[in-house]
Chains A and B, each alone.
Chain A
Amino acid sequence: MDEQHHEHHHEHHHEPGFWRKYVFSVDHKVIGIQYSLTSLLFLFFGFSLMMMMRWQLAYPGQPLPWIGRLFGEANMPEGVMVPEFYNQLGAMHGTIMVFLGVVPLAVGGFGNYVLPLQIGAPDMAFPRINMASYWFLFVGGVVMLASFFLPGGAAQSGWTSYSPLANIAPVGQTAWLIGMIFLITSSLLGSINFIVTTVQLRVKGLSFFKLPFFVWAQFVTSFLLLLAFPPLEAAGVLQLMDRVAGTSFFLPSGLVVTGQPLEVSGGGNPLLWQHLFWFLAHPEVYVLILPALGIVAEVIANNTRKPLWGYRTMVYSLIFLGFMSFVVWAHHMFMTGMGTAMSTFFQATTMIISVPSVIILTALAISLWGASIRFTVPMHFALAFIPMFAIGGLTGLPLGLTASDLHLHDTYYVIGHFHYVVAPGTIFALFAGIYYWFPKVTGRMMNEKLGKLHFWLSLIFMNGVFMPMLFIGMAGVSRRLYDQTGYAHGAAVQDLTVLGSWSAWLLAVAQIPFIVNFLMSMRKREKVRSDNPWEATTLEWATPTPPPHGNFLTAPQVYRGPYEYSVPGRTADFWPQHLPEEAESPQPRPATT
């Protein structure tokens, strides 16, 4: 990078080389695409880990056909999974899906690409830090993948890495901690960038309450990442010290492991890890959902052809939700021996936090009233998000109350609950976003028929995987069991488990139309006939397609709110934010590539 470059307005006559343009670019759009492609690959990989686990769950002790022997004698002798490998798959599935899949796609991918465009900015406030944040993610991802090949395998103590189990686990856990430090650094750098960009780089006329809800969602998410991750980083350092330097931050004295006393000083507290971990991990789940709410809001506004209902209320709810997310964390710890005072506090805050979520979801639903609904492919996913997220949110209620959590804690009910929120919830929203913004990024529309096929199959099989889990959990089956059939209550629901496994494998097959559509559409000859094919109002659609370096040919100015659709007295049913008052209704402009 050229520090001595002092002619900012100097025209650049030479094109950057391949590496500077596509690999080490500081352009937020390239970085957004890098994040998106990387995270999509990790999502597929993390999903594959789960598909293997589902074989063991459905057919315990059976060799995995065809590919079972590929995983080596240590992991799958004769093609039969060993419990340690099952635990590795479980821990890494969670870790990869959350930290290398969903968040990098939702924040690093969508946030990076769309946010500067939606605020009229030429790029992020710190383009080089933006690039750095991607490469930290990349290195973290490599470390996580490489950990599978370490002696003893990858981390296998759950994505939650509870001590003391994580302290005595094989070296893969150390790799996990190192990988997390890279991933956390990536997030911190990114969150600083997003906040400064949103506050400082909005174009003229774009006040906070004219911002698209997507930008608000990314903005609040960034505060969560900024403030919640450091305690996990601290915890990671402490667990590293325990594992590598022999400290006892999380180890009390007197532990005896497989008959041998643990030779440590003791004096530590396992609950300290849990508090530090969940202090991040609870806000983290809001990091998983908030960008999705942002995407869904955009797609719904655009496809209902009317403003979002209760935009201001939604924004206030978002801010309140962000704040509340910091004070509910110990609801993950209700069964650790917590007394009545502390549990009352956290039950109360957990009940309270459901209020803004309900408000936002209700506002999105009410936005459908009086609409003119276009059932585009993005709209299919955005609409399905609403009831799916509702199931996820509602199933949180019995978990958030201690007396019902007594039975449901750490069962499949929990897995069903959070997967409803993140799988047919967030991931559906991310699909909506991909289908929605694909034409802006590539200049082509994705195929509609394949998109609808992808949608219907995914919807059916997502429910096939996760609805049974709610029943399996209610029946009392704990999570993270290599084989549940040893228990009477586990055997009683084995049929549901098999149903879930087949649904998962079919869900994978259902992604084929998406992958084919994605790859084919990128290269197809037919291009969009307009820079704004969805006839949207927000600023990203005011750029050429795809947006050039610097995004806008001239900096736009904003004259109105983000969702001025079907404004009475105007001929067109949408009124872009950047068009001056006197301008004519927009005509479809030919795409400029």
Chain B
Amino acid sequence: MSAEVEIPYAVKPHPVTGLFNGKFGIWLFLASEVMLFGALFSTYVLLRVGAEVWPHGYSLLNVPLATLNTFVLILSSVTMVMAWASLKMDDFRKFRLNLGATVLLAFVFLIVKAFEYGAKFEHHIHPATNTFYAIYFTLTGLHGLHVIGGILVNLYLLLPGSAMWRTEPERFTNRIECAGLYWHFVDLVWIFLFPVLYLL
């Protein structure tokens, strides 16, 4: 757009912090996300400790499917890093493949999740059923929304956004790095969610 001002360290890292602005920004955003999910995990703890009875997650939820999903997400984090690394090594084709794989794996995750949710709804189990399901649906639901958000960002960077590779390759690589950090966080939240909800 016109009348755009040049912002220092938007692409090149700051000499003291070693970060370009976007990377610093995404780390701060992730700090706030830690507080968000932290509050929900605290909710889980408070509700569970205060409850007379609390079911074991493994008796109510589909552990094999969730385990699969865990591997799916971890793999998607690997492909995400490889996407960024490919750009660093100037291999746009490999970047496309890896980011595409990341998005695909994310869709797999969502499909599995939809399957899980669907099975519950079919048995007339909803968030309102009891507090265990309430916190289960809320935590995984919010996580799922974050996965969707990540998919949208990654799709954008894969398709229309990737045109920036030709004009500002370094800036584009930085964007992939930021998207990658966000994606690793989404994965990390699941790494906590899975044992807490499904295994304990």
A196 touching B24, Cβ below 8 Å: yes
Segment at the A interface, from B31-39, B83-91, B146-154 = B31-39
A16 to B47, CA, bound (A): 54
For B67, list chain A residues within 8 Å (CB): none
A8 touching B3, Cβ below 8 Å: no
For A249, list chain B residues within 8 Å (CB): 43, 47, 131, 134-135, 138
Q: How many residues of B contact A (CB 8 A)?
A: 50
CB contact under 8 A between A201 and B138, given known A6-B167, A196-B28, A269-B47: no
Nearest B residue (CB) for A194: B28
A272 to B49, CA, bound (A): 12
Partner of B7, one of A14, A127, A238: A127
Q: How many whole Å from A189's CB to the nearest CB in chain B?
A: 9
A234 touching B39, Cβ below 8 Å: yes
What 0/1 pattern do residues 218 to 253 of A give for CB contact below 8 A with B?
000000001111110111011001000111110000
For B31, list chain A residues within 8 Å (CB): 226-227
For B2, list chain A residues within 8 Å (CB): 2, 12, 14, 16, 20
Partner of B6, one of A9, A196, A200, A229: A9
A199 to B54, CA, bound (A): 47
For A227, list chain B residues within 8 Å (CB): 31-32, 35
Nearest A residue (CB) for B26: A192
A195 to B130, CA, bound (A): 41
Whether a CB of chain A sits under 8 angstroms from the CB of B163 is yes
Q: Which of A121, A192, A226 has the most CB of B within 10 A?
A: A192
For A466, list chain B residues within 8 Å (CB): none
A26 to B1, CA, bound (A): 10
In A1-32, the 8 Å CB interface with B consists of 1-6, 8-9, 12, 14-16, 20-21, 26-27
Whether a CB of chain B sits under 8 angstroms from the CB of A55 is no
CB contact under 8 A between A267 and B130, given known A226-B28, A227-B31: yes
A121 to B14, CA, bound (A): 14
In B1-58, the 8 Å CB interface with A consists of 1-10, 14, 17, 19, 21-22, 24-25, 28-29, 31-33, 35-40, 42-43, 46-47, 50-51
What 0/1 pattern do residues 257 to 271 of A give for CB contact below 8 A with B?
000000011111100
Partner of B9, one of A4, A195, A200, A228: A200
A125 to B10, CA, bound (A): 7
Q: How many residues of A contact B (CB 8 A)?
A: 62
B29 touching A192, Cβ below 8 Å: yes
Q: Which of A27, A200, A227, A269 has the most CB of B within 10 A?
A: A200
26 contacts between A and B (CB under 8 A): A3-B161, A3-B163, A16-B1, A20-B1, A121-B8, A122-B8, A127-B5, A188-B32, A192-B29, A199-B14, A200-B9, A200-B14, A201-B8, A231-B35, A234-B36, A237-B138, A241-B138, A245-B128, A247-B128, A248-B134, A265-B128, A265-B134, A267-B47, A269-B47, A276-B39, A549-B3
Chain B residues in the interface with A (C-beta under 8 A):
1-10, 14, 17, 19, 21-22, 24-25, 28-29, 31-33, 35-40, 42-43, 46-47, 50-51, 126-131, 134-135, 137-138, 142, 161, 163-164, 167-168
